[in-house]
Amino acid sequence: MIDDLNNDIKQLSTRIRRIEHVTTIGLVAIGVLFVTERYGWTSGIVPVLLIMQVVKVMLQRQLKIKETMVREIEQRTAAIRQERDAIQEESVKLANALKDLGEAQDELVRRERTATIEQLTKGLVDRILNPLNYINNFATLTSGLGKELRENLESQKDRLDRETYEDSMEIVGLMESNLSKISDHGYNTVRIVKAMEELLKDHRSNLALTNVNDLCRVALKKINKQYGAEIQEKGISIHFEPLNLALMLPLDVDQMLKVLINLLGNAIYALSRKRENVEFEPVIRLSLRRVEGEELEIRVRDNGTGIDKALQDKIFAPFFTTKTTSEAAGIGLYLCREIVQNHRGTIAVDSVKGEYTEMTVRVPLFLMDKDPKQNNKEESHQS
């Protein structure tokens, strides 16, 4: 496009020079005719020269327009290239940040969560979040500039040839697509870093006597509020099987609610994924029972996608998830296990791929014979 415009400019310049040469020759000829007193010939030459001057003015206008177009295209192309270079530079920074984050996550998985590791990770989180915030902010700002550039191109559409306009719009589209990817990965990485911060929190139990039936009802109420639209859309049925008699257990209400909501949320996700491909009746069962008079058993069972046998030993590891990065950071089940273990309990999975998943939480009943404050002290001492 630029080459075509430059060729047009050269051709127009050549034509203008030729007209100027012819005009000069015509003026010389008129002078000669006046000297030789042949005035009759001038009446034929002067109109021709006037017409040529009109043509020259028109060609000069066309030349000016095309030169202006070339300058504008070169300026916009330079601006787009600068934006592209900036995006590529930010992409490299984001890739390096993601690489550093992945290495940090691997290190956290291998080590025990001692006080030394906690301090190290806190500093690392701060260092990663700051550049990520810059990346996300600049991606958002540059996206706005891309929209302005698109509007400018559209406003000049009539002055640009079709090929120039389409190529410029294609470049803007690629730029906007790249910015969208940068933003998505940036915010996903922030989510992972925030998950790392969650791992550093103290999850030791602050026990209080709690009615486990009521606790489950509160969890179900929160789940229906949080996932109500999805439950209704997918036709998911949730059945609750409480204990026949009220049972008071020393539990950390907030922490155990997190466990129940996480397990129920995972079940809804599995059912929704399966419902997209298979016609079936999605069901979740939350049941409570006493096991041999010594433990409380909480079961969450769904007939969703299930978990592959090879992955069942990995699902409680930090940062491991079968969901996409944009959907989860992979610490939900890890924190569930931490919370349950702080209640001196266990959590296990039983699943068949494509058929069902059943999560089983067991908490010892003997804790209810002890004073909640004493239990809290013991937990803190053991931690």
* pLDDT score, position 327: 60
Q: Which of 10-24, 199-213, 284-298 has the lowest mean pLDDT?
A: 199-213
Classify the C-alpha dihedral 260-265-270-275 as positive or negative: positive
* pLDDT score, position 288: 94
Distance, in Å, from the CA atom of 39 to the CA atom of 33, rounded to the nearest integer, reads 6
Q: Which of 82-91, 178-187, 289-298 has the lowest mean pLDDT?
A: 178-187
Tell whether the model's pLDDT for residue 257 goes beyond 70.
Answer: yes
Query: What value does the mean pLDDT take over residues 202-208?
Result: 68
Cα 139 off chain centre by: 11
Q: Is residue 278 within a helix (H) or strand (E), and if so which, with residue range?
A: none
* pLDDT score, position 119: 59
* pLDDT score, position 260: 95
Tell whether the model's pLDDT for residue 268 goes beyond 90.
Answer: yes
Query: What value does the mean pLDDT take over residues 202-228?
Result: 87
Distance, in Å, from the CA atom of 179 to the CA atom of 141, rounded to the nearest integer, reads 10
Distance, in Å, from the CA atom of 240 to the CA atom of 299, rounded to the nearest integer, reads 10
Q: Are 45 and 30 in contact (CB under 8 A)?
A: yes
Radius of gyration of the chain (CA): 37
pLDDT tier, 359 (very low <50, low <70, confident <90, very high otherwise) = very high
Tell whether the model's pLDDT for residue 369 goes beyond 60.
Answer: no
* pLDDT score, position 329: 57
Distance, in Å, from the CA atom of 202 to the CA atom of 224, rounded to the nearest integer, reads 28
Task: Give the burial string for 64-89 (b: 16+ CB within 10 Å, else e).
Answer: eebbebbeebeebbeebeebeeebee
With pLDDT > 70 as the criterion, what percentage of the chain qualifies? 79
* pLDDT score, position 296: 93
SS3 124: helix
Distance, in Å, from the CA atom of 14 to the CA atom of 20, rounded to the nearest integer, reads 10
Tell whether the model's pLDDT for residue 265 goes beyond 70.
Answer: yes
Residue 191 tokens, joined: 């989510």
* pLDDT score, position 366: 66
Tell whether the model's pLDDT for residue 233 goes beyond 80.
Answer: yes
* pLDDT score, position 7: 79
Tell whether the model's pLDDT for residue 374 goes beyond 60.
Answer: no
For the entire predicted model, the pTM comes to: 0.50
Q: Give me the chain's average pLDDT, please.
A: 79
Q: What is the pLDDT of residues 348-358, one digit of tens each?
A: 999 999 999 99
Q: Are 266 and 328 in contact (CB under 8 A)?
A: no
Distance, in Å, from the CA atom of 371 to the CA atom of 209, rounded to the nearest integer, reads 9
SS3 361: strand
SS3 221: helix
* pLDDT score, position 157: 81
pLDDT tier, 114 (very low <50, low <70, confident <90, very high otherwise) = very low
Query: What value does the mean pLDDT take over residues 324-337?
Result: 70
Residue 9 DSSP label: H
Q: Are 245 and 286 in contact (CB under 8 A)?
A: no
> Do β-strands 283-291 and 237-241 pair in parallel, antiparallel, or remain unpaired?
parallel
Q: What is the pLDDT of residues 125-154, one digit of tens each?
A: 666 777 777 787 888 888 888 888 888 888
The residues that bridge with 357 in the sheet, in sequence order, are: 302, 351
Q: Counting every residue, how long is the chain?
A: 383
Residue 264 phi/psi, 5-degree rounding, is -70, -40
Q: Which residue has the higher pLDDT, 23 or 300?
A: 300
